[in-house]
């Protein structure tokens, strides 16, 4: 009998130990990171349900579930810990909540950094009180989940329009969530750090009134033929 639909794969070994890389991404905003990915990649439609006091940064543990069922989210959590974020493809369905307070407490005890749920959560007041545990989701529902499956762990998933692989770097702040493919992480980080530095210079120029936009008139002239 095929186990398709109930597969559980291990975490990729090369993407679990580089905490220093996470620390560097934690210094950069989601908007700047997605800009450096050509504004083509990023999770949309999910919003933060926690306080956003600090950026949520960690390695993705991906979970694909049947709408309204969290069997394999529980399994993924038993495999996960420090520097990891549970990223769930719930097909965007918001009828039944996939996680709530008890699962959040369990995740915190294991050292898991947060949840990214393309679906619904419940006990939103408890998530709203959190400043160090991140939770991004599509909506809230008081209806609880089923625990029958099917579902799979550490498979490619689609979350808010972005494909996420196990081990990708997840960054979340008040603007939303972006997933950086692990293979391109250092490249994207270098570009984002450069952009962050450029924006700091722009802020300084704005403060003293020397900021200019040389591209503005040039673009208008090109579009109008003037």
Torsion of CA 181, 153, 136, 159, to 10 degrees: 60
Q: What does the pLDDT look like over 37-89, one tens digit per residue? A: 999 999 999 999 999 888 999 999 999 999 999 999 999 999 999 999 999 99
Of all residues in the chain, what percent carry a pLDDT higher than 70?
Answer: 97
pTM, full prediction = 0.94
Inter-helix orientation angle 71-78/101-110, to 10°: 20
Say if CB 121 and CB 137 are below 8 A apart.
Answer: yes
Q: How many residues does the chain have?
A: 226
Question: At residue 1, does pLDDT exceed 70?
Answer: no
End-to-end CA separation in angstroms for the chain: 69
Q: What does the pLDDT look like over 174-210, one tens digit per residue? A: 999 999 999 999 999 999 999 999 999 999 999 999 9
Question: At residue 226, does pLDDT exceed 80?
Answer: no
Backbone angles phi, psi at 181, to 5 degrees: -55, 135
pLDDT on residue 156: 98
């Amino acid at each position: 009998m095929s186990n398709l639909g109930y597969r559980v794969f291990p975490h990729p070994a090369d993407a679990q130990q580089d905490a220093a890389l996470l620390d560097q991404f934690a210094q950069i905003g989601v908007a700047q990171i997605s800009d450096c990915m050509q504004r083509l990649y990023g999770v949309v439609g999910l919003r933060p349900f926690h306080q956003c006091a600090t950026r949520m940064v960690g390695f993705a543990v991906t979970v694909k579930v049947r709408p309204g069922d969290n069997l394999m989210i529980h399994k993924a959590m038993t495999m996960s810990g420090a520097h990891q974020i549970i990223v769930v493809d719930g097909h965007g369905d918001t009828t039944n909540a996939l996680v709530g307070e008890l699962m959040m407490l369990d995740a915190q005890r294991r050292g898991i950094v947060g949840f990214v749920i393309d679906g619904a959560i419940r006990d939103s007041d408890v998530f709203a009180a959190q400043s160090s545990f991140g939770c991004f989701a599509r909506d809230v529902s008081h209806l609880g989940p089923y625990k029958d499956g099917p579902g799979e762990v550490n498979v490619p998933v689609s979350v808010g329009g972005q494909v996420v692989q196990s081990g990708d770097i997840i960054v979340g702040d008040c603007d939303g969530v972006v997933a950086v493919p692990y293979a391109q992480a250092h490249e994207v980080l270098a570009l984002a750090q450069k952009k962050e530095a450029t924006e700091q210079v722009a802020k300084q120029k704005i403060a003293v009134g020397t900021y200019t936009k040389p591209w503005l008139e040039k673009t208008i002239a090109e579009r109008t033929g003037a």
